[in-house]
Amino acid sequence: MADIETYRPRRSVLYMPGANDKALEKAKTLPADAIIFDTEDSVAPDMKIEARAKVAAAATSGAYGNRELTIRVNSLETEWFVDDLRSACEAGPSGIVVPKVSSVENVERVEAMMDSFGAPDHTRIWAMLETPSAMVHAVDIATCSERLAVLVMGTNDLARELHAALVPGRHPLLWGLSKCVNAARYAGKVILDGVFNDIRDPDGFAAECRQGAEMGFDGKTLIHPSQLDAANEAFAPSAEEVDHARRVIEAFEEGIAAGKGVIQLDGKMIENLHVANARRAIDMAEAIAALG
């Protein structure tokens, strides 16, 4: 399978309504690793055309520092999709977030249209997985396109389509979440967790961030600035983890020099695979530090 892209922090990925000038302005100073300028569900039908122009202008403004910029277009079956996609391709952000990707054919159609609209190579597909069909076809979707770089869980739509409840611990969604993480890892793609709707429940939000990080997600999509700090913390290795990672590498190298393939550190077995994890934690920490 394709190699995962060189680690780029995507701990916190903030949606904002593309027609909301205040949010577009505010995002220039927020500690988000990435931004999704939305024209889909957060924009009312009579504001779609205006939002399309606003998000293109924002994405090309150069005013968002080193935050990774993406545009969410309306879904393939809508009247806005073709013009949204054309406009986003011309703007050329890091990613075009495509909602409700449910099949390989959907991805192939988007990819062919992006080619015909002259999208730059650096503009990647971020496919939203948020339908029962996407859960069934997750692996095929994840592996069908080089341009597809990121999978994004759409947990609100998924719960709605499943007739499932959004509850603490998310047990009704765990099968789909796990399946998509597995598909992402198999395909060497990045995967982002879905949003947490209750912006006045920081404890519930922190718990869901921890759960997502434990499951293997690379980061979380967010809806409000108050969620940024907790996501940035949950999806970064802690200082203790980085310190432990350095000790693992050091101890293992000493072990190898002494002719051992497996050693113990603080009473725990360390093998080559633990060293790989340790290197990943250090790479992540360094990439995060480089953000400034």
Residues that bind ligand COA (CB under 6 A): 14-17, 22-23, 26-27, 38, 41-42, 195, 199, 223-225
Binding partner selected for residue 209 from Mg ion, ligand COA, none, CB under the kind-specific 5 to 8 Å limit: none
Q: In angstroms, rounded to a whole number, what is the distance separating the alpha carbons of residues 172 and 160?
A: 11
User: Residue 2 CA to chain centroid, in angstroms?
Assistant: 18
Residue whose C-alpha is closest to residue 235's, from 50, 7, 1: 7
33 is a site residue for Mg ion (CB under 5 A): no
Q: Which of 33, 38, 68, 157 binds Mg ion (CB under 5 A)?
A: 157
- As measured in angstroms, the least distance from the Cβ of 74 to ligand COA is 12
Q: In angstroms, rounded to a whole number, what is the distance separating the alpha carbons of residues 189 and 216?
A: 12
- As measured in angstroms, the least distance from the Cβ of 71 to Mg ion is 15
- As measured in angstroms, the least distance from the Cβ of 220 to ligand COA is 12
Binding partner selected for residue 14 from Mg ion, ligand COA, none, CB under the kind-specific 5 to 8 Å limit: ligand COA
- As measured in angstroms, the least distance from the Cβ of 50 to ligand COA is 16
Choose between 195 and 236: whose C-beta lies nearer to ligand COA.
Answer: 195
- As measured in angstroms, the least distance from the Cβ of 100 to Mg ion is 7
Choose between 26 and 268: whose C-beta lies nearer to ligand COA.
Answer: 26
Q: In angstroms, rounded to a whole number, what is the distance separating the alpha carbons of residues 30 and 144?
A: 34
Q: In angstroms, rounded to a whole number, what is the distance separating the alpha carbons of residues 290 and 292?
A: 5
Binding partner selected for residue 157 from Mg ion, ligand COA, none, CB under the kind-specific 5 to 8 Å limit: Mg ion
What's 115-176 look like in SS3? HHCCCCCCCEEEEEECCHHHHHCHHHHHHCCCCEEEEEECHHHHHHHHCCCCCCCCHHHHHH
Choose between 139 and 199: whose C-beta lies nearer to ligand COA.
Answer: 199
95 is a site residue for Mg ion (CB under 5 A): no
Q: How far apart are the first and last CA of the chain?
A: 32
17 is a site residue for Mg ion (CB under 5 A): no
Q: Angle at CA 177, nearest 5°, toward 238 and 122?
A: 75
Instruction: Annotate each residue in 124-153 with x if it binds Mg ion (CB under 5 A) or - if it does not, as one string.
Output: ------x-----------------------
Q: In angstroms, rounded to a whole number, what is the distance separating the alpha carbons of residues 216 and 212?
A: 6
User: Which tokens sit at 203?
Assistant: 């404890």
154 is a site residue for Mg ion (CB under 5 A): yes
Residues forming contacts to Mg ion in the complex (CB under 5 A) are 130, 154, 157
